[in-house]
Amino acid sequence: MGRNMTISRSMVALLLISIAMVVSPAVNSLPTGVNYDQISAGGCNCHAAAPNAGVAVTLDGLPEEYNMSETYQVTISFTGGPSAEGNANLGGFNLWASGGEITPLDATVQSNGPSEVTHTEAGNDYTSWTIEWIAPSHGRDVDFVVHVNSVNGDGNAGPEDQWNKLTLKVAGSLGPGLEEADPYKVLATLIIISGILLTITVLYGFYRTNPDAFDWEHLAPWLTEWLTSTDHKKIGTLYFVQGLFFLGIGGILAMMIRIQLAVPGNDFISQDQYNSFFTLHGTTMIFLAAMPLINGFANWMVPLQIGAPDLAMPRLNALSFWLQPFAALLIFTGVFTGEGADTGWTGYAPYIVTEGAHTGVTMWVAGQIMLVASSTLTGINFLTTMAVMRAEGMGWMQMPLFTWSILVANLMLFLSIPAFGVGLIQVYLDRTISTAFYDISAGGDPLLWSHLFWYFGHPEVYVVIVPAFGVISEVLATSARRSIFGYRSMVYAMAGIGIVAFIVYGHHMFTSGMSPSLRFVTMLTTMLVAVPTGIKIFNWLKTMHGGSLVYRTHTLWALGFLVTFTLGGISGMFFPSIAMDTHLHETYFVVAHFHYVLVGGTVFGFFSAIYYWYPKMTGRMLDERLGTLHFLTAFVTYNGIFWPMHRLGVVGMARRHHTYFITTDDFTNLPEWAADWNLFISVSAFLFFFSNFIMVANMLISLVRGEKAPADPWGGWSFEWMTSSPPPTPSFDWNNPPVLKDANEHIAHEPGRLGQWFNRLMVPEDHEEVSH
Amino acid sequence: MSLITPLYDSLWNEYLVWSLLVALFTFGWLYHHSFFYRSEDGENPNIDNLEVGVFPVENDDLKLELAWTIVPFILIVYLTYISWAPLDNIWASPDGGHFGDECDYDSIDYYGSNLSFDPDAELKGEYTANCYHTIEITAKQWVWSFDCGTLEAELCESGFTEADGRAVPHLSLQAGNAYLAYMTSEDVTHAPWFVSLGVKEDVLPGQTTTVWILAEDVEDFLLLCTEYCGDDHAYMMAGVTIHA
């Protein structure tokens, strides 16, 4: 190596060292003591760059294994280094412990918090210090780190001083504790594990259908078929699997939220992570779980029920589905980068366009724009199908009620979701190319978003509940062995809900600062929702009258739906009353209410649908004993979660808060029992979460070992029970297409009430007499 | 601590009674039918002769259907009617409404705000006052600030206090006074919830909203933020003291 090179290398090394000395955090140790955060990385490097073995550090008084909560007196001392008797000062130290509480005993030591002590100005004149350590009560191992500095006493920190470091582990009776987990990593891991489990399950399903076919020649066509199929049954199954998968993901998010809220002041999840957890929980459950589950059954059953070969636009249908998984990927992008969307599913402006909102919000918005596209296409497709592809003999008023419910839901969705799309695009542009739709300083209006969102958002919650009404109508009538009571009023009630849905959304904005007269009007219209909903509930009850209720799992879920949905409807009556809403808005009372209608309504309704139509979809009967066990455990634990929330909300627990406050001496907030109930809710939540795996297990076991299902296992009347289970493709024999007969033939050809009355007007009173 | 504030106490109770009646009626019916009309073991009668491919016989009764359209309608009209009255208190006019005009402290007629509650007035009781005091509330992420203006310290005082181990803003008001708060936000939407008073109203940037604070009883409570506003939303609280 040449001499020049040696010199230049040395110069570079020196330069680097000097830069490092300037850049690395300077420690103002000195008389005032040092902070562990500053020295934990580089040591006492303002004294000397590296520790010096000449300084011998001892830590006396610590046991090998500590007794929980016992107090120990600990002495920190050192020998060696430049410090010598008679110097102006001798040295300093910092002691840090990973557990327990360290307190100074005299004026030579000061506390830097419960886990850390350092010397004081007076303590600079000593080479040994004594402190007190109260061992922690958790029994896990505790690490001690002590930095000690021996100074030459010139009053300046310089390289002549020497320092050293000692680490020590004191064993607890329980051994090392768990590493603290980052909730995002837990979530991301659980999502990936769920995905892998899903893949394994699907591949196992494939293996069961053909154990010899795992070579590429068989696997590739199978994959291609599922990826490119336009068959409504296959797409329905895809929707269904997606819905169940995200129901699980949403459930995992909910469980992590419940761990956080199990005790007050918990720090399992930090507040910004908590915020994105409840945001993703809401978005996932509504858009990626409830809607695909509904679409899964709609895809499967609507063409079968109206006797159509497929949807009107099968390719559009495939596009609608395939937008979903990619939208889901975008919505969850933030989780995998550590900045999940944190705006709440409502995404209120202007927060959603501020710098403070997480970066994941942009992709979350993009994903939802794709879902808007998907839903719009689905709406067009189903409405067209129902309008033009009904079998012969099936008028509008002979469509099965599930098909009617999908019609009403899609009409609502189709008319409302464009408003949401517009709002999302505005937000997306605001966030990406700095337009100013929601920039307040440029004249943007935060209420515009609220209006656009809720104009869609309120019909949206009916979009997810109305199909459940359809399911319950089918299940209850079939189980009671009766035709549904008041078919016409059922249809009118659903249509009524569909219309009222568009004029009530202002009730989400009772405290928004919107004009009081507008708020007052929505109070009146919102009260009206109770009327059509009441008609439906009473009609279902009357359907059972004089019937012969056959108890199957789907019957149990339908009856459970009636209980929980009625409770959710009753608690809903408290909100339109503005005087009460100003107290209840954004509290757990609201959380309880909408979970009673969305879980107790939509989810229970679709659990019922799973037990009702699974034999049709797979050709296998589900196990009734496992089904009953699922109903009993899930129904009880479900009520254990959401019933106490009503009271918590009323006494002052606010929603979307990552913690809650128990009354202290100074200020009243939640009573002490609120903490107990929260723990109770968390435990119930876990039981509810796991009880649903009984259903998943039931579906998998029955798929393999279940009894073969007959074409019409429950005795329903609509066309889907006409074909074999599972239905072939094409579903019906098109040389002999299904024709709906009508048991009311004699009624159907008579004029209706209006017609009779009209006829009476048109025909003279004495007409009959004359003809005699 | 009452579950809900006196203004809505009777409203809440009335709603609760009707809820119980509706629930008893519905669940009584549901439980009766689900036990009384169950099929016996092994029996599976096809009561309405449901048959695949045949639209079933009509099962309806216009009178019954009209009954459970009209009766719930009458009930909700009544519930709407009783929900009406408190609106006068919630959205009272600042110009000579239920709480009069803003107090004129120099006037010889000024004897204080004198907030009072008459449980028999209107439908569910009403608050009235001679005059009201105004304060200002400004919100920003994640702290409230209260501005008492020129009010005497006895009537309104703002400062800091400690709650749940952290320093939070503090607002001290006097019982027996009506206050009108003019509110605005410096960044995003917030909403102060006067938990024990049962009122909240959004605070929006670029806009002024108002809320009536009816300090009736002596109490101390936490004020929470109830419109989601970002990371420290839950910690955006304040102590409120209503002293004698």
pLDDT tens for A514-529 read 888 888 888 889 999 9
* Same domain for B133 and B74: no
Question: Rounded to whole angstroms, how far apart are CA atoms B15 and A573?
Answer: 8
Is residue A665 predicted with pLDDT exceeding 90?
Answer: no
Query: Is residue B109 situated within a structural domain?
Result: no
How do residues A106-127 score in pLDDT, each as one tens digit? Answer: 888 888 878 888 888 888 888 8
Q: How far is B55 from chain A (nearest CA, A)?
A: 5
Shortest CA distance from B66: residue in chain A: A535
**Residue A626 CB coordination number (10 Å):** 17
Measured between its terminal Cα atoms, the distance across chain A in Å is 133
Asked if A659 is an interface residue toward chain B (Cβ–Cβ < 8 A), one would say yes
Question: Rounded to whole angstroms, how far apart are CA atoms A670 and A651?
Answer: 6
Look at the domain A229-721 and name its fold.
Cytochrome C Oxidase; Chain A (1.20.210)
* Mean pLDDT in residue range A390-412: 92
Per-residue pLDDT at A544? 92
**Residue A765 CB coordination number (10 Å):** 7
Is residue A25 predicted with pLDDT exceeding 50?
Answer: no
Per-residue pLDDT at A746? 59
Half-sphere exposure of A597 (CA within 13 A, CB side): 22
* Mean pLDDT in residue range A467-493: 93
Which member of A446, A548, A656 has the closest CB to residue B189?
A446
Question: Rounded to whole angstroms, how far apart are CA atoms A444 and B30?
Answer: 51
Query: Is residue B217 situated within a structural domain?
Result: yes
* Same domain for B190 and B136: yes
Going by pLDDT thresholds of 50, 70 and 90, the confidence category of residue B118 is confident
Interface confidence (ipTM) of the complex? 0.94
**Strands, DSSP E only, in chain B?**
54-55, 101-102, 116-118, 126-128, 131-140, 143-147, 156-163, 166-174, 177-185, 192-194, 199-200, 209-215, 219-225, 238-243
Question: Rounded to whole angstroms, how far apart are CA atoms B189 and B176?
Answer: 30
* Same domain for B133 and B84: no
Closest C-alpha among B111, B162, B104 to residue B133: B104
How do residues A211-264 score in pLDDT, each as one tens digit? Answer: 777 778 888 888 898 999 999 999 999 999 999 999 999 999 999 999 999 999
**A302-311, A723-732, B170-179: least confidently modelled range:** A723-732
Query: Is residue B122 situated within a structural domain?
Result: no
Task: Identify from B39, B55, B166 which residue to disrupt to test chain A contact, counting A C-beta atoms within 10 A and taking the largest count.
Answer: B55
In this complex, do B23 and A356 lie within 8 Å of one another by their Cβ atoms? no
Q: Where are the domains of chain A?
A: 27-170, 229-721
Domain boundary among B72, B90, B108: B90
Kindly list the residues from chain B whose CB atom is less than 8 angstroms away from the CB atom of residue A738. 53
In this complex, do B3 and A579 lie within 8 Å of one another by their Cβ atoms? no
Q: How far is A452 from chain B (nearest CA, A)?
A: 16
Shortest CA distance from B162: residue in chain A: A666
For position B175, which CATH number holds?
2.60.40.420
Task: Identify from B31, B33, B122 which residue to disrupt to test chain A contact, counting A C-beta atoms within 10 A and taking the largest count.
Answer: B33
Question: Rounded to whole angstroms, how far apart are CA atoms A187 and B155?
Answer: 51
Question: Rounded to whole angstroms, how far apart are CA atoms B70 and A534?
Answer: 10
Task: Identify from B228, B229, B235 which residue to disrupt to test chain A contact, counting A C-beta atoms within 10 A and taking the largest count.
Answer: B228
Query: Is residue B183 situated within a structural domain?
Result: yes
SS3 A278: helix
* Same domain for B137 and B81: no
Total CB pairs under 8 A between chain A and B: 322
Q: Is A331 exposed, middle or buried (0-12, 13-18, 19+ CB in 10 A)?
A: buried
Kindly list the residues from chain A whose CB atom is less than 8 angstroms away from the CB atom of residue B59. 482-487, 543
Measured between its terminal Cα atoms, the distance across chain B in Å is 17
Q: Which residue range(s) make up the domain with B81?
A: 6-90
* Same domain for B217 and B158: yes
* Same domain for B151 and B84: no
Q: Which residue has the tokens 């309120």?
A: A458
Query: Is residue B95 situated within a structural domain?
Result: no
In this structure, which amino acid lies at residue B76? I
Shortest CA distance from A741: residue in chain B: B54
Q: How far is A713 from chain B (nearest CA, A)?
A: 11
Going by pLDDT thresholds of 50, 70 and 90, the confidence category of residue B12 is confident
Measured in residues, chain B has a length of 244
CB A523 within 8 A of CB A509: no
Query: Is residue B113 situated within a structural domain?
Result: no
Right CATH for A27-170 from 3.20.20.140, 3.90.45.10, 1.20.1560.10, 2.60.40.1930: 2.60.40.1930
Query: Is residue B114 situated within a structural domain?
Result: no
For position B34, which CATH number holds?
1.10.287
Say what the pTM is.
Answer: 0.80
Query: Is residue B84 situated within a structural domain?
Result: yes
Half-sphere exposure of B103 (CA within 13 A, CB side): 24
In this structure, which amino acid lies at residue A418? P
CB A379 within 8 A of CB A413: yes
Question: Rounded to whole angstroms, how far apart are CA atoms A379 and A638?
Answer: 32
* Same domain for B77 and B132: no
Q: Which residues contact A462 (CB under 8 A, 6 or more apart)?
A: A409, A412, A497, A498, A501
| Count: domains in chain B | 2
Per-residue pLDDT at A183? 80
Half-sphere exposure of A325 (CA within 13 A, CB side): 14
SS3 A76: strand
Kindly list the residues from chain B whose CB atom is less than 8 angstroms away from the CB atom of residue A521. none
Q: What is the DSSP string of A597-622?
A: HIIIIIIHHHHHHHHHHHHHHHSBPP
Measured in residues, chain A has a length of 772
